[in-house]
Amino acid sequence: MTTMENPTAHGSGNAATDKFKSERVTSDTSVERASAIYQDVIGAFADIIQKHQVTYDEYRVLKQWLIDVGEYGEWPLWLDVFLEHEIEKVHYNRKGFTGTKGSIEGPYYVPDSPKLPAKCTMPMREKDKVAPPLVFKGQVTDLEGNGLHGATVELWHADEEGFYSQFAPGIPEWNLRGTVEVDENGNFEITTLKPAPYKIPADGPTGWFINSYGGHPWRPAHLHLMVKAPGKRAITTQLYFKGGEWVEDDVATAVKPELILDPQPNADGIDEVTYNFVLDPEA
């Protein structure tokens, strides 16, 4: 993976692009469906151009910007911030699920993180411990509330500086990433730390884009989760922290009220929170 000396738009963009390209994705979209979508996309562009009387200068700036986003490797970043939340809504609604709400995956998921036991501490460096510790526990169940033996809770999140391992330089490969295997009743108890808010790299074309309309590049502090169990629909989601900065104004529009945690100090004075994951049957 490509990372540079300092975390830059170029560095994290290229790392995210390399990871995405390695997946070689496909889709079974029919020609009819592709035609319908294509016509609507071109029609939407036509409407916008007419509505705003877009000029040749603006068109040329757009062309240059699109070239720059590709050259900086920032398409995974830009797309996951500005479009993925809408795709996720369709994904959730189309199937009529009633279990735990999903949220965007974002560009920094890596499969096959190290397996950890149901009661565990996330891999972290000494220096990460400046962040407040967090005990995150709960149960993975089916719709009837039965604990799901065999479920896994994959957790990945940024460190105290807002950086993700494998996408910023100098961080151990699996730092703050793990695949937790729940106990026979579906329970888990993970000690980790509270991540910092995440700032989209602002020194590249995604940052220029945000500046161009006077926006901000911040996401609220969040935990990323992928929860799976045999015969159940896997969910990809994120959890946020009540009262945290940017919770009400996430640049990626990915916060849902059901996904906000409110940790409280436990008997040891460490912030602790319980969150249960409810999985629908496989479609």
Q: Which does 252 bind (CB under 5 to 8 A by kind): ligand DHB, Fe ion, none?
A: ligand DHB
168 binds ligand DHB per the rule CB under 6 A: no
Judged by CB under 6 A, the residue of 99, 107, 195, 205 near ligand DHB is: 107
| Rounded Cα–Cα distance for residues 215 and 161 (Å) | 21
Judged by CB under 6 A, the residue of 168, 210, 252, 279 near ligand DHB is: 252
226 binds ligand DHB per the rule CB under 6 A: no
* Residue from 120, 191, 99, 185 nearest 150 by CA: 185
**Which residue number places its CB atom closest to ligand DHB?**
106
Only segment of 27-35, 75-83, 114-122, 183-191 that touches ligand DHB (CB under 6 A): 75-83
Token pair for residue 269? Answer: 């004075």
81 binds ligand DHB per the rule CB under 6 A: yes
Whose Cβ is closer to ligand DHB: residue 2's or residue 150's? 2
Whose Cβ is closer to ligand DHB: residue 108's or residue 209's? 108
Amino acid at 179: T
What does the per-residue mask of binding to Fe ion show for 100-119, with x meaning CB under 5 A? ------x-------------
Angle between the N-to-C axes of helices 205-212 and 75-82, in degrees from 0 to 180, rounded to the nearest 10: 40
Min separation Cβ 149 and Fe ion, Å: 29
Site residue total, ligand DHB (CB under 6 A)? 11
Whose Cβ is closer to ligand DHB: residue 151's or residue 254's? 254
124 binds ligand DHB per the rule CB under 6 A: no
Per-residue burial over 87-113, b = 16 or more CB atoms within 10 Å of its CB, e = otherwise? ebeeebeeeebebbbbbbbbbbebeeb
Judged by CB under 6 A, the residue of 69, 118, 168, 200 near ligand DHB is: 200
**Which residue number places its CB atom closest to Fe ion?**
106
Min separation Cβ 85 and ligand DHB, Å: 9
106 binds ligand DHB per the rule CB under 6 A: yes
3-state secondary structure of 116: strand
Q: Which does 229 bind (CB under 5 to 8 A by kind): Fe ion, ligand DHB, none?
A: none
Which residues pair with residue 156 across a beta bridge? 177, 224
| Rounded Cα–Cα distance for residues 30 and 272 (Å) | 48
Among all chains, which residue has been given the structure tokens 């040329």?
Answer: 60
Among all chains, which residue has been given the structure tokens 């911030």?
Answer: 81
Per the CB < 8 A criterion, the answer to whether 4 and 163 are in contact is no
Q: What is the DSSP letter of 267?
A: T
* Residues near Fe ion, by CB under 5 A: 106
* Residues near ligand DHB, by CB under 6 A: 77, 80-81, 104, 106-108, 198, 200, 219, 252
